[in-house]
């Protein structure tokens, strides 16, 4: 058996001219979304920000015709068929509902988290379904090159049946102002990436056991700073993560040890990898190393120049555009993402109530 190509190629739309409007013009749009879209020749027609000067700055950098501080100008622009929403999660539901009222808008790419609770998320999914809009969620870690490569290995059967998966994150995030004093800090901002990745790799878990504590460095009140959790899957596979946003006193004078490492063990092989995001703004490509019986048992170490930030950000938008062409659902559809929302709630509840939970409690 031959090794599959890694990372797997991204399926781009046959027609890249579909008009895209972007709501939000912050760091993630300026440095990731629009860089990736431009590199793939997508047609971004408008960008809006609450601060007009920021919208104009981003539009000038990326060659976008319309820059505005009036979100309704983008929503009402009939040349815009797809919306890319990248605003704080508390502001996102209203914009999705407004988009559902516009007949010319066919697809919506929402930022993660889709909402800050599963009830609101389900309401948004159903609103889009009633209006005939394709809703995708920008869980872009699935398109990180090492994460997607591992999924390819699992699907090929080269690793056999999954036994144990783990992610070990030691990184210090920049908390955005909107994250202050919310019902969740790390779970809905950081752990959501890893929880969605475990679902992508292994399917939906049945049971969750979690423990959380505040981060000593974060000055505002919060409960879920550092998260530890174990996921149990129907197949017998187990997954665990340490989501450590303290990472030791690296900002307080001690030499840092920062990074994200993952490992997946199967009955026929083993894969390990790193995620390059903590090295931003330097371009640090993620990595994968794997060994399996059917390829001789030796280590294979493919490498590539692409990095999660910004290159993987083409994945969710391209997937949505392709779904509009083919009539199928996006791979990270709003309906699918309800499983990730439920898993976030299961982690938070397990940690708070000191009990085993099931995501099924929030799936209805």
Whole-number Å distance between alpha carbons of 250 and 238: 31
Radius of gyration of the chain from its Cα atoms, rounded to whole angstroms = 20
3-class DSSP state of 219? coil
Residue 326 token pair: 């083919």
DSSP class of residue 55 equals H
Long-range contacts of 246-250 (CB under 8 A, 24+ apart): 246/172, 246/215, 246/216, 246/217, 247/170, 247/171, 247/172, 248/170, 250/172
Quote the pLDDT of residue 217: 96
Query: Distances in Å between the alpha carbon of 19 and those of 25, 74, 106, 107, 122?
Result: 17, 11, 10, 11, 27
Domain ranges for the chain, please list them: 19-140+315-332, 142-307+340-362
Residue 236: left if φ>0, alpha if ψ -120 to 50, beta else—which one? left
For a pLDDT cut of 90, what percent of the chain falls above it? 96
Residue 314 token pair: 């083409």
pLDDT digits (tens, 9 = 90+) for 184-204: 999 999 999 999 999 999 999
Continuous segment of H or E residues that includes residue 244: strand 238-244
Over residues 322-337, the mean pLDDT reads: 97
Quote the pLDDT of residue 2: 83
Q: Do domains 19-140+315-332 and 142-307+340-362 have the same CATH topology?
A: no
Whole-number Å distance between alpha carbons of 206 and 112: 23
pLDDT digits (tens, 9 = 90+) for 99-110: 999 999 999 999
- Assign domain 19-140+315-332 one CATH number from 3.40.109.10, 2.60.40.60, 1.20.1560.10, 3.40.50.720: 3.40.50.720
Query: Distances in Å between the alpha carbon of 272 and those of 230, 280, 292?
Result: 19, 21, 12
Single out the residue of 300, 260, 310, 304 nearest to residue 285, CA to CA.
304
Average pLDDT of the chain is 97
pLDDT digits (tens, 9 = 90+) for 123-167: 999 999 999 999 999 999 999 999 999 999 999 999 999 999 999
**Do 338 and 125 form a contact (C-beta atoms < 8 A)?**
yes
Q: Is the pLDDT of residue 330 over 90?
A: yes
CATH class of residue range 142-307+340-362: alpha beta
Cis peptide before 310 (omega within 30 of 0): yes
Q: How confident is the model at residue 364 (pLDDT cuts 50, 70, 90)?
A: confident
**Do 59 and 67 form a contact (C-beta atoms < 8 A)?**
yes
Q: Is the pLDDT of residue 309 over 80?
A: yes
Strands laid side by side in the 82-85 sheet: 66-68, 43-48, 19-23, 82-85, 107-111, 134-138
Alpha-helical segments (H) within the chain: 27-28, 34-39, 52-62, 71-75, 92-100, 118-131, 145-156, 186, 192-202, 308-311, 314-326, 334-353
Quote the pLDDT of residue 1: 73
For a pLDDT cut of 70, what percent of the chain falls above it? 100
pLDDT digits (tens, 9 = 90+) for 38-95: 999 999 999 999 999 999 999 999 999 999 999 999 999 999 999 999 999 999 999 9
Quote the pLDDT of residue 180: 87
**Do 173 and 343 form a contact (C-beta atoms < 8 A)?**
no
Quote the pLDDT of residue 239: 99
**Do 136 and 109 form a contact (C-beta atoms < 8 A)?**
yes
Residue 256 token pair: 């840092």
Whole-number Å distance between alpha carbons of 100 and 118: 19
Place of tokens 């994945």: 315
Q: Is the pLDDT of residue 182 over 90?
A: no
- Ranking 67-81, 168-182, 241-255, 345-359 by mean pLDDT, the lowest is 168-182
Residue 281 token pair: 């703004």
Query: Distances in Å between the alpha carbon of 20 and those of 34, 74, 143, 346?
Result: 11, 9, 20, 35
pLDDT digits (tens, 9 = 90+) for 246-273: 999 999 999 999 999 999 999 999 999 9
Q: Is the pLDDT of residue 289 over 80?
A: yes
Query: 111 φ, ψ to 5°?
Result: -75, 155
């Amino acid at each position: 058996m031959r090794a599959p190509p890694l990372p797997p190629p991204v399926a781009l739309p046959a027609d890249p001219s579909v008009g895209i409007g972007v709501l939000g013009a912050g760091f993630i749009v300026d440095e990731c979304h629009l860089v990736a879209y431009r590199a793939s020749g997508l047609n971004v027609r408008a960008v809006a920000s609450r601060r007009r000067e920021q919208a104009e700055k981003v539009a000038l950098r990326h060659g976008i015709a319309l820059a505005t501080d009036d979100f309704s100008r983008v929503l009402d622009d009939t040349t815009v068929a797809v919306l890319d929403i990248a605003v704080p999660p508390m502001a996102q539901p209203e914009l999705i509902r407004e988009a559902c009222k516009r007949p010319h808008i066919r697809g919506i790419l929402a930022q993660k988290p889709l909402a800050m609770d599963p009830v609101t998320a389900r309401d948004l999914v159903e609103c889009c379904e009633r209006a005939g809009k394709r809703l995708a969620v920008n869980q872009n870690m699935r398109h990180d090159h090492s994460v997607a490569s591992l999924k390819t290995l699992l699907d090929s059967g080269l690793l056999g049946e999954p036994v144990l998966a783990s992610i070990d994150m030691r990184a210090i995030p920049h908390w955005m102002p909107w994250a202050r004093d919310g019902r969740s800090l790390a779970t809905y901002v950081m752990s959501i990436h890893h929880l969605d990745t475990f679902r992508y790799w292994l399917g939906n878990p049945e049971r969750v056991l979690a423990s959380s504590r505040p981060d000593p460095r974060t000055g505002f009140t919060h409960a879920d700073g550092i998260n530890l959790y174990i996921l149990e899957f129907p197949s017998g596979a187990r997954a665990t993560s340490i989501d450590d946003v303290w990472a030791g006193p690296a900002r307080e004078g001690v030499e840092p040890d920062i990074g994200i490492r993952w490992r997946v063990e199967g009955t026929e092989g083993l894969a390990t990898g790193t995620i390059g995001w903590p090295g931003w703004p330097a371009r640090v490509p993620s990595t994968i190393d794997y060994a399996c019986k059917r390829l001789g048992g030796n280590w294979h170490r493919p490498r590539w120049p692409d990095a999660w930030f910004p290159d993987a950000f083409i994945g969710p938008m391209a997937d949505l555009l392709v779904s509009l062409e083919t009539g199928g659902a996006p791979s990270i559809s709003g309906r699918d993402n309800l499983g990730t929302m439920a898993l976030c709630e299961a982690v938070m509840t397990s940690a708070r109530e000191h009990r085993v939970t099931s995501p099924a409690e929030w799936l209805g």
